[in-house]
Amino acid sequence: MSSRTNPGNFAFLILLWAVLLTVPLWIAPVGGYVDLASRVLVIGLAAMATNLLVGHSGVMAFGHAAYFGLGAYATGLVIKHLVPSTPVGFLAGVVVGTAGGALVGYLLAKLRGIYFALATIAFGQVFYFIAFRWNAVTGGDNGLTFQRLAIDLGFANIDLTSSVVYYYFVLAVFAVCAVLMAILLRSPFGHTLLAMRENERRAKFLSIPVNRHLWIAYTLSCFFVAAAGALYGMLNNFVSPHDLHWTQSGDFVLMAVMGGMRSFWGPLLGAAIFVIAQDSLSSITDNWMFYIGVIFVLVVLFLPRGIAGLMQRKTS
């Protein structure tokens, strides 16, 4: 983010948004499909939200799938049982996921290092087992099925049941979240997070309330990952306990590492590689995770700053 005025970075942004805006026009000829592009954006947003803590705040969090799943479940339950409205369901998912993150983050704010990481896994698994066991509400292992609905604006109808229309809805939400994250990281609060990452002891010496800032950062990170979860539930019209499992959280961290933890857009690149590789390889072999693991090991060994770090070196 510090090199945001670099002409190479500006050219990358232009190219990135040109690609994202035109996806429905070219994805089918290259062997993809629109829902795959929507999944890349949704999972990419979740990876960027996780990286807000892992890469920019310097704490390891392996429980973000809990708030991702909370957002998805809350959205599905509201649309199916309470208010048949996509905007209301989406907002409910964001609120519930953020509230869960705020509560857990308050309890974790004093922990550091391996204790913080293990506690995030523990709390995440609590939510997972609740979803797995509460059959009457969540459907248990069978999951929850629902249907995203069109948005009636009175003067127009946005048919979100269409894959193309839903892709642009996801892209709009992704763009808003990306702008908010960029503003956050460039704000004084964002700079305090970087100070905490580089040297927490010195940040405390400068009278920065480290625990409070970590709690706020955790809550904001959960806000963005809950938004991704709500979108993911509506993308599949389905949510299952697997969406809350700690392995899903590990995938978010893996994407951030592959793309570049110190980069703003790196997690999106990592998510694109992960999701596309998963979609392609899973149709060929049941051992697709082995090949993704090989990619991850190669990136860690030869590109310690991730793929985004390699691109930044070439444009600097």
Domain ranges of the chain: 7-315
Given a contact cutoff of 8 angstroms between Cβ atoms, the answer to whether 148 and 234 are in contact is yes
Tracing tokens 């978010």 back to the chain, one arrives at 252
Kindly give the confidence (pLDDT) of every residue in the chain, 316 residues in length, as a single tens digit, with 9 standing for 90 and above: 444 445 557 788 899 999 999 999 999 999 899 999 999 999 999 999 999 999 888 888 899 999 999 999 999 999 999 999 999 999 999 999 999 999 999 999 999 889 999 999 999 999 999 999 999 999 989 999 999 999 988 788 889 999 999 999 999 999 999 999 999 999 999 999 999 988 888 888 888 899 999 999 999 999 999 999 999 999 999 999 999 999 999 999 999 999 988 889 999 999 999 999 999 888 888 888 888 888 888 888 888 788 877 766 555 5
Question: Alpha-carbon distance 231 to 214, whole Å?
Answer: 26
Can you read off the two tokens belonging to residue 64?
A: 């973000």
Give me the sign of the Cα torsion angle 19, 25, 28, 33: positive
pTM, to two decimals: 0.92
Distance between CA 256 and CA 309 in Å, rounded?
Answer: 12
Q: Decide which of 1.10.260, 1.10.3470, 1.10.1670, 3.40.630 is the CATH code for 7-315.
A: 1.10.3470
Q: Residue 312 has what pLDDT?
A: 62
Per DSSP, what are the bridge partners of residue 238? Answer: 145
Please calculate the CA angle 301-303-305 and round it to the nearest 5 degrees. Answer: 120
The owner of tokens 């066991």 is 133
Collect all residues with Cβ–Cβ distance below 8 Å to 133 and sequence separation of at least 6.
Answer: 140
- Residue 86 CB partners (closer than 8 Å, separation 6+): 79, 148, 149, 150, 151, 160, 234
Specify the amino acid at residue 161: T
Tokens 């990358």 belong to 12
140 DSSP 8-state letter: G
C-alpha dist (Å) from residue 109 to 192, 202, 208 = 15, 18, 14
* CB-count burial class (<10 Å; 0-12, 13-18, 19+) for 226: buried
111 C-beta neighbours (distance < 10 Å), count: 16
Rounded CA gap, 104 and 14, in Å? Answer: 38
- At residue 4, the pLDDT reads 43
> Given this model, what pLDDT does residue 27 score?
94
Q: What local confidence, expressed as pLDDT, does residue 3 receive?
A: 41
